[in-house]
Structure 1
Amino acid sequence: MGPISEKTRLEEYREVKGRLDQKWPIDEANTSGYTVEDWKTNNDTAKCYDPKSLMMSFGTVTIREEEGRCEILVFYNLKHESFQLPKGRRNLHESAADAAMRETQEETGVVVQPLYLNFDTRIQVDGEMAKEDYVRCNSNGTVTAMNRDIIYAMSYSDKKTQAYRHIYFYAAQPAAGYGESNPAMLGNEDKTNTVLWLSFEEAQTQLTMKAERAAVMTAQILYKRTRDDKGSWALSKRLLEQWRKENAVRRALTEQALVRAVVSDTKKVAILTEAIKRIVTDQAAAAPILDYLKQLS
């Protein structure tokens, strides 16, 4: 299957933009909660899956800027003869977001990290988070927020496995120093992949599946809206830096297996001390915590 025409690309782009721009209606008659009739409709339209008949995958639309040109990370799968976005299933005990980042690295050889964008979502926001100035809870039940949650989802019946496949995409960007593909990081099953950085328009014509082209179009629109707003873009960078620090500690604790370090309290303290040193760069802020840990040891 070859690339689509520019006319088709523009038609698909307008379709995606129309969905994103559409105002979600408020059902004034149902603001007090579900009615008996609502539950009957839900019951009649419900689709049920057991674990083996539903396959969930997670991937990324990874964006980088090179000399003013925005590019999308894709790969050509020689075995399937198709251009694809990186994606795959979770490992046991792995989070959805971590799976998306890992699969991107394995299929493209590029290490990626979250890209915070401002968009409408149905993610739940409560407590102190609801008070953040970058979070707006809308009357129609959606939330407008700068976040790193799923930006796009697609589903189809998978012929090979006979399972119904759901794929969820996150926006991502290359980690510092990892803008190019490193063949050594490709997974064993992905060594024959041809990794490409394409412009938004090139990716939108080359990707084999219409749904994945729509994922790129969605990312393009959300990225441009966030990037063009100086305040939003500065916030995106600040939230990424916060994620980096939190992730560094999480990885340190996971790698050193703090929760399983039952040899002695001293060992636990040593591991936790090292983790804190890696995340808290302000020595004045870290000093009280480290002093307390010294007392424990």
Structure 2
Amino acid sequence: MDLIVDAIDDKTSCREYDKVIQRLDRRWEIEKVNEQPYDAEDWKDNNDTAVCYDMKSLMMSFGTVTIREKPGAGGPQVLIFFNAKHKSYQLPKGRRNLHEDPADAALRETLEETGVEVEPLYLGFDTRIVLDHPETAIEDVGFVRQNENGTVTAVNRDVLYAMSYDDKKTGAHRHIYFYAAQPALGDGEPDAALLSGEDRTNKVHWFGFEEARRKLTMRAEREAVIAAQILYRRTRDNKEWWDLSKELLEKWKKNNAARRVLTGQPLARAVASDPGKAAILAEAIKKIVPDGGVEAAALALDYLKRLGAAHGNGLA
């Protein structure tokens, strides 16, 4: 394969793991603005450290650390791929489409670059998300507690790790945000037919956490895997959190079933060419659309029929 960067050694692997866990567990303290207002020196510091971009040079990408537990695999595995063009191992990620939700973009890019359809993996961790209505937040993000230091501990599907760097080759200022995900179907084996055109040469792999970390070319992506590894273990070990994770995923599935089909996902385009598969998907939509979502289900089914007609499958 002629890798650009060789796998890291044991010492580097341990050092990176320790660095991430210290970052995740460090004590976080902030001053309350209403008690300690900003003064002139504070504003000077903010101005001196501010970095500004125009939207031609700023490139924001969204990807996933996708995790599965497959019987006989010896433990959790991470989805990565070998990019033949750049000769590097990478996490799936890419830019969002116009008006696309960043979290949806992360799931879509994972499908297009690996051929694996994925869904959110809700994990418990500290975050700076804002709870507009803390008393009802359990329905939205799996609220656990609001901390005095301005953070929230929640079981949620928000960004778990972020990275940025200046790409000197393209001149782009890259900002990349990673979400946790899991296979949506079966064991998550890749389907080459679902890869986008430019990604058909990707070689997709499921590796254990340690092997995935060693192979990834970008240090920041290795750190994203470490963060996901730690948070996944902590969430799995906490029964309350894990039960809540599964509950929130079920709500997400019901709320997004029809909408995801209507957005023209590659999966829908693929099954529309096969009347048998299309009929199965149509029946599945009827079952998983939440109560009261009959109109949305009808729209989704109509979309599939039109799509099927374009492929000549005669779906009734």
Normalised to the residue count of structure 1, the TM-score between the two structures is 0.83
| Residue in structure 1 matched with residue 302 of structure 2 by the alignment | none
Q: Distance in 2 between matches of 1:190 and 1:141?
A: 41
Q: Is the alpha carbon distance of 1:98 and 1:129 closer, same or farther for their aligned partners in structure 2, counting shifts above 3 Å?
A: farther
Q: Which runs of 5+ in 1 are unaligned?
A: 256-274, 291-297
Once the two structures are superposed, residues 141-200 of structure 1 have per-residue CA deviations (whole angstroms, 9 ceiling, x without a partner) of 111101000000001111232011000000000002361000000010011110000000
Note the C-alpha offset of 1:252.
Answer: 5.8
In the alignment, structure 1 residue 118 sits paired with structure 2 residue 118: no
Q: How does 1:45-84 map to 2 (within 5 A)?
A: 45-67=49-71, 69-84=75-90
In the alignment, structure 1 residue 104 sits paired with structure 2 residue 110: yes
May I ask how many residue pairs the two structures share in their alignment?
Answer: 266
Q: Is the alpha carbon distance of 1:77 and 1:252 closer, same or farther for their aligned partners in structure 2, counting shifts above 3 Å?
A: closer
Q: Is the alpha carbon distance of 1:2 and 1:129 closer, same or farther for their aligned partners in structure 2, counting shifts above 3 Å?
A: farther
Q: Is the alpha carbon distance of 1:10 and 1:66 closer, same or farther for their aligned partners in structure 2, counting shifts above 3 Å?
A: same
Q: Is the alpha carbon distance of 1:3 and 1:253 closer, same or farther for their aligned partners in structure 2, counting shifts above 3 Å?
A: closer
| Residue in structure 2 matched with residue 153 of structure 1 by the alignment | 162
Q: Distance in 1 between matches of 2:84 and 2:287?
A: 45
Structure 2 contact 62–106 (Cα < 8 Å) conserved? yes
Give identity over the alignment, percent: 61
Q: Is the alpha carbon distance of 1:159 and 1:178 closer, same or farther for their aligned partners in structure 2, counting shifts above 3 Å?
A: farther
Q: How does 1:1-297 map to 2 (within 5 A)?
A: 1-27=5-31, 31-67=35-71, 69-128=75-134, 132=138, 134-177=143-186, 179-251=188-260, 279-280=289-290, 286=292
Once the two structures are superposed, residues 58-114 of structure 1 have per-residue CA deviations (whole angstroms, 9 ceiling, x without a partner) of 000000001251000000001101000000001111111111111100110000000
Task: Indicate the SS of the match to 1:51.
Answer: coil
The AA in structure 2 aligned to 1:44 is D
Note the C-alpha offset of 1:253.
Answer: 6.2
RMSD of aligned residue pairs (Cα, Å):
2.3
Structure 1 contact 130–136 (Cα < 8 Å) conserved? no
Normalised to the residue count of structure 2, the TM-score between the two structures is 0.78
Q: Distance in 2 between matches of 1:109 and 1:277?
A: 25
The AA in structure 2 aligned to 1:45 is T
Note the C-alpha offset of 1:53.
Answer: 1.3
Structure 1 contact 110–178 (Cα < 8 Å) conserved? no
Where does structure 1 differ by over 6 angstroms across 4 or more consecutive aligned residues?
A: none
| Residue in structure 2 matched with residue 266 of structure 1 by the alignment | none
Note the C-alpha offset of 1:276.
Answer: 8.8
Note the C-alpha offset of 1:30.
Answer: 6.5
Note the C-alpha offset of 1:136.
Answer: 1.3
Note the C-alpha offset of 1:27.
Answer: 2.7
Q: Distance in 2 between matches of 1:62 and 1:277?
A: 26
Q: Distance in 2 between matches of 1:172 and 1:228?
A: 18
Note the C-alpha offset of 1:138.
Answer: 1.1
Q: Is the alpha carbon distance of 1:100 and 1:224 closer, same or farther for their aligned partners in structure 2, counting shifts above 3 Å?
A: same
